[in-house]
Chain A
């Protein structure tokens, strides 16, 4: 009887402890506490908020891995500006792909007063990172409509998958093109790794370029990964790819979609 009691106490104690942050089964344990499915939730918020708008402004931050000081700062800054409708994260929330890195990133980004979506970065794929990304955020390829612009967000971290997963996923792009919503007139394509990078599947580089071009009225493309400001026209087809620097270098983009064209501003903080 006494032994049973002791066992019950031990069991109760372990359950209690298992809920604490100080309990970690392994850095790659994929044990997730708190909010999940953020991409789906935030897409809904963005689409509702932006419905019918033809002009709006969003921010892009990228490569926040191990840069929680600057991430906190840029989140506060975007909140205090008050002119940003939503935020796009260019990927690499985690550096080692560890479970807690995603949860820290989620918790600091959740302090944003506007909805945000996160692309999948190559560092987010390490260890069990991809499993955690999918649970906490959502699918690696996704799309949403903000006002009259369709945002196509792609996993381009081909080197991480060794052909076990289609990267870039042309089927997804084709399906998106076929089911292009009536409310959208223009397209923005966002990815973590740009074409030409060693991480990109460059064998299909030009094919990727033409798939991108096939979308209605492509405004521009966005990418992260390079930790620098970049502005490139990779395929000589008039589609400009903008590289966003890391928050570690204290920079972010503010992008204004206008009735006619767009403005893109490199901001420091």
Chain B
């Protein structure tokens, strides 16, 4: 649990102080810039790229009951996304509530605008994500008491693949708003252990291993 607190505070620091750092960019002097100023501008621009430009909230999807994260949208057509997400997993029948940390990479190749409207359909999103249960009962590598390769998998880390669709509202005049776009998405995915079960057996159908996620993305 202590680990999850550390990760959570790092996460908050990541989201907020950098946004403040960005403000220093605004004042551009009229005079010729010195080497020092150019270097500082370049430096600021570099760091500025690290400011996340979107937020996500999600229900289910194997990374917690509810999860929230932030990340970057990038690429020529803004088709790539990288997210850092923290999910909350209530204890249900187990001893403790758990926090799940997820790193997610998505590819959203197409944007189809519905006529002249602000609505944009993104017919496909492909994601690959790694989730980690922040609880010391779960291991990445088997504890020493086991012979090498006894179980041969990690109970802590799951690798997931998912496909989904989105509908985005592209806010026409952003000046009065705090955000540029809001999109609603769903994804259907499965994890490494699920695929392992599915491919080894005919009784378990593909629909049995699918996990649904429903979420909201807000692009600043």
Contact = CB atoms under 8 A, between A and B. Distances in A.
A17 B60 contact: yes
Given A30-B93, A95-B197, A131-B94, A198 B147 contact: yes
Contact of A27 (B91, B158, B210): B158
Contacts of A22: 188, 207, 210-212
B100 A26 contact: yes
A66 B212 contact: no
B70 interface: no
B62 A25 contact: yes
Interface size bucket, A side? Answer: 35 or more
Interface in B168-220: 188, 191, 193-194, 196-197, 200-204, 207-208, 210-212, 214
Contact of B203 (A23, A72, A100, A162): A72
B64 interface: yes
Contact count band on B? 35 or more
Interface string A230-246: 00000000000000000
Contacts of B188: 22
A139 interface: no
Given A23-B211, A159-B145, A66 B201 contact: yes
B153 A68 contact: no
A28 B133 contact: yes
- With most chain B CB atoms within 10 A of its CB, the pick from A101, A108, A128 is A128
A14 B59 contact: yes
Given A96-B155, A127-B155, A27 B191 contact: yes
A17 B93 contact: no
Contact of B193 (A69, A98, A131): A98
Contacts of A98: 193
A118 interface: no
A134 B194 CA distance: 23
A17 B212 contact: yes
B124 interface: no
B65 interface: yes
Interface string A9-42: 0000010011011111111111110000000000
A198 B150 CA distance: 11
A104 interface: yes
B133 A26 contact: yes
A115 to B, nearest CB: 23
A177 interface: no
B158 A30 contact: no
B203 A69 contact: yes
Contacts of A71: 203
A26 B196 contact: no
Interface in A93-142: 95-98, 100-101, 104, 108, 123, 126-128, 131-132, 134-135
B89 to A, nearest CB: 5
A250 interface: no
A67 interface: yes
Contacts of B63: 26
A214 B214 CA distance: 58
A30 B91 CA distance: 8
Given A26-B100, A30-B91, A21 B208 contact: yes
Interface string B144-169: 01110001010100100000000000
14 contacts: A22-B210, A24-B62, A25-B65, A26-B63, A27-B158, A28-B155, A32-B93, A69-B202, A96-B155, A127-B137, A127-B138, A135-B93, A162-B145, A198-B147
